Chain A
């Protein structure tokens, strides 16, 4: 599903280049649950951003479902953001001014889904996450774990094929983290959603079925 071929990412320093990622080859198949690990500065987040089309590689080829991403136009990329890829952030990134319900609804608005279907899909997701009672609360009225649940709910409401999670439990304590990770596992196994997560935690990494270790921009074999 995702194929990276000799992906590099660098920025200029003086006359030379400083590589964040160098010649990364990576294939992720549909239905996998991959954990990317590595120390700070090893390029985990950059890799995830490249996978999520938020950043472009300096060199190399990226094929998303067999299609070359660098050949895609802006519209096609936006389509992928709207439909195929869901993001979960460490800092949740909920919109403070919107209620739980409205936050979850936002991606559907961008997908131009009709109002009735929007309602039923948001209701489904709320139901599934046991958050129906909280739907009219604002993010700052929720605990961190609950906020991240909303974040995940928002990521899956548009029914993406891939979820990219950047340290989804980084701001949570271990009990909450466990809930979230189990949710991811469930999504991966039941809903067949491909999940790529960046994490520091060995425990969290074990929820996945493959671990990729990054060191200084290279994947350790």
Chain B
């Protein structure tokens, strides 16, 4: 029996090529997209799940409640780790992680290795198996390092690395270290990444940090004993904070932070399984928690659209086979036998599509990874659960897409079927409903894409308040202040260079991919003031073309400028004095500072955030991390090459390349760009698959109405009249879809735009244009067929029986 079903199915497929092609093409594209998207989501959700202790490891993050605004930070004071371990019951181990890229020397070969400085317990806490060496003793000594297989192979080639001495460049000085162990290469779903591990105590200023409760610099990780809950950890930290941060908490409360009796300073624990998607974590991937969900939703939508094609076409087609159905019923076929038969046909089709989609996925995977910045490898399919999940999903889809039409068919009234009364009429509620759903999805995706694109365009072209097009930033990596001075004098000879300065933070995101900020609080006239602080070098304002509102820039001509600050408008407003220039205040019990100038607010951070108060200081040359060079030249490429060459000459260990600031600001919105690309792809797929379905349905309806068209033509209908008549039904559906989709897209995008302090307003014409676009596309699709039908010779359609 089954063989007979499959035989019929196969012969049917070969007979109805349009139908089969549309179904297989649509379904396989959709399955391929859904497969990629859901595997990506799965990967994002299973990050770091290989750690045996992942249920017991937490990162400690602090939160300060500054009277309304909550300031979150992952930086923790160094002495707190010892206090937590000693004074909180149930804490098994703690470790800091200080990650940098450090220059490493072996013989006369130089390498840059991604280094994590960690406490001795690191290897016991996290599951990074060693291929050589012992994890109990690997980091016992301060002068020991652990390499990964890859980095060991790069440095030592065939030699045995254990016991060999390599040198690390720590704050400009080469120091010898002994390789004590080699770790297996990290799994590709590890959030923590390193090529070299060494002890945290090697951190340059460790001696001062060790007992400094006032500065918070490194992320702290805690492993709890099994059975100890996160809540108890968070509760037990509170007394510790009251004990060690007494002065700070009192200051904050005096400044009006927090209501009476409410905690103003507390710490939270983040579970390891949240590291990847929680922006407070140090291993935050930059992906929104919603992002994997978005991928699943898109996958479902795309599959749904293809499934709808499938359902509509199968139902339409089975009406053409009504004779067969009726006959089979009269021969004594039970409903469920018919159901099985029609489902088997769909299943066959889906199987083709599935095989095809796997092929497509193999071809598209590298392109997908590149475009969306993912790192999916085929290894993920070695996981039996992923395979089972994929298969289960596939069966579910065939069950829905094949089962619904089969069920509808099996329930047809036999007599009407035999009499041939059941044609696919001009409309059917189910079919129309499904077409509407398809176009709702397509229109929502198109309008979202267009709004995201507008917003991206807006933030990328918004005036930032500084000169982004002519200024190059050079990451200093681990260079010393002497290098900066050398760079200044060398660049003075380069004709294109107009001015040079340096700063603590990059503007936008440089090629080193790092970003940060320094928030400081102080008291001024009995007011608690919180501000961002930025260490700069001379000529900062001139180089970046910031606009001085009053006062002056830092100048070498004034010896007193080491205690001078330049503030922005927001800060001036906060100080609330008539003339901010000359105002004195002091931060962190330091010496008094006086304001020498006020600059116009500029966007020193991303446009997601509003501009915050800013204080620029000048007296800490060791804190400078980036050189900024303003050039004036028609050939920017040669200028940047020239500057890079000079820098390489001064600091041969430099690792990260220079880049223009406008590039940097673009890079800052990578997540949004990725977001928009995903939407764009989803929208294009949705439109194409929907149109394929619409086309096939149109083909069938036209065939059905051939006779009607013939009669109308004989009676004198014009070609355009007939095209309109035939297309009108479909266009009405698309219009309804647009009406439903517009508010949905508006709501969704409005929520998304709220993430930006600076955003566009959604314009009504976006929806009008998208609607028009959808109607046009649908009209073109349908009219390809309706024009053909309208032009056909009526004699033909009328003579055929």
Contact = CB atoms under 8 A, between A and B. Distances in A.
Given A109-B1, A110-B337, A98 B8 contact: yes
Interface string B314-344: 0000000001101111111110010000000
A110 B330 CA distance: 11
Given A97-B11, A98-B7, A102-B7, A107 B332 contact: yes
Interface in A169-191: none
Contact of B415 (A49, A74, A107): A49
A96 B415 CA distance: 20
Interface string B161-205: 000000000000000000000000000000000000000000000
A82 B415 contact: no
Nearest to A111: B332
Interface centre among B11, B324, B330, B334, by most chain A C-beta atoms within 10 angstroms, is B330
Contacts of B412: none
A65 B331 CA distance: 19
B204 to A, nearest CB: 80
B323 A91 contact: yes
Contacts of A52: 330
Contacts of B330: 52, 54, 81, 87
B332 A110 contact: yes
A55 interface: yes
Contacts of B329: 54, 81
A119 interface: no
Given A49-B415, A93-B323, A78 B12 contact: no
A54 B333 CA distance: 13
B699 interface: no
B420 interface: yes
Interface in A96-124: 96-98, 102, 105-107, 109-111
A78 B332 contact: yes
Contacts of A55: 415
A25 to B, nearest CB: 23
A133 B420 CA distance: 31
A137 interface: no
B7 A82 contact: no
Contacts of B332: 78-83, 107, 110-111
A2 B7 CA distance: 38
Interface in A128-186: 154, 158
A97 B331 contact: no
Nearest to A112: B1
Contact of A110 (B333, B414, B418): B333
A93 B324 CA distance: 7
B324 A95 contact: yes
Interface in B10-52: 11-12, 15
Nearest to B10: A97
A89 B418 contact: yes
A56 B329 CA distance: 15
A75 B419 CA distance: 24
B525 interface: no
Contacts of B419: 45
Interface string B411-423: 0001100111000
A97 B12 contact: yes
Contacts of A82: 331-332
B279 to A, nearest CB: 59
B418 A93 contact: yes
A110 B331 contact: yes
A95 B418 contact: no
B761 interface: no
A146 B12 CA distance: 23
A54 B415 contact: yes
A79 B323 CA distance: 21
A172 to B, nearest CB: 15
Contacts of A78: 332-334
A54 B4 contact: no
A95 B327 contact: yes
A55 B419 CA distance: 12
A107 B331 contact: yes
Nearest to A93: B327
Contact of A109 (B4, B326, B420): B4
Contacts of B15: 96-97
A111 B1 CA distance: 10
Contacts of B415: 49, 54-55
B14 to A, nearest CB: 9
Nearest to B14: A97
A105 B4 CA distance: 10
Contacts of A80: 332
B414 A54 contact: yes
B17 to A, nearest CB: 14
15 contacts: A49-B415, A54-B418, A78-B332, A82-B332, A93-B418, A94-B327, A95-B327, A97-B11, A102-B4, A107-B332, A109-B4, A110-B328, A110-B331, A110-B332, A111-B332
Contacts of B414: 54
Contacts of B418: 54, 89, 93
Nearest to A107: B331
A25 B421 CA distance: 29
Contacts of A95: 8, 324, 327-328
A195 B407 CA distance: 34
A111 B15 CA distance: 28
A104 B627 CA distance: 88
Contacts of A102: 4, 7
B335 to A, nearest CB: 8
A91 B1 contact: no
Interface in A53-101: 54-55, 74, 78-83, 87, 89, 91, 93-98
A97 B1 contact: no
A117 to B, nearest CB: 15
A107 B4 CA distance: 12
A142 B523 CA distance: 101
Contacts of A109: 1, 4
A106 to B, nearest CB: 6
A154 B324 CA distance: 14
Nearest 6 interchain pairs by C-beta: A82-B332, A81-B332, A97-B11, A93-B327, A107-B331, A97-B8
Contacts of A105: 4
Given A54-B330, A82-B331, A110-B337, A91 B8 contact: no
Contacts of A79: 332
B8 A81 contact: no
A87 B414 CA distance: 13
Interface in B327-366: 327-334, 337
Interface centre among B323, B331, B333, B415, by most chain A C-beta atoms within 10 angstroms, is B331
Contacts of B334: 74, 78
A92 B511 CA distance: 76
A154 B331 CA distance: 9
A95 B325 CA distance: 9
A16 B506 CA distance: 87
A158 B415 CA distance: 22
Interface centre among A79, A80, A93, A107, by most chain B C-beta atoms within 10 angstroms, is A93
A154 B323 CA distance: 15
B450 to A, nearest CB: 47
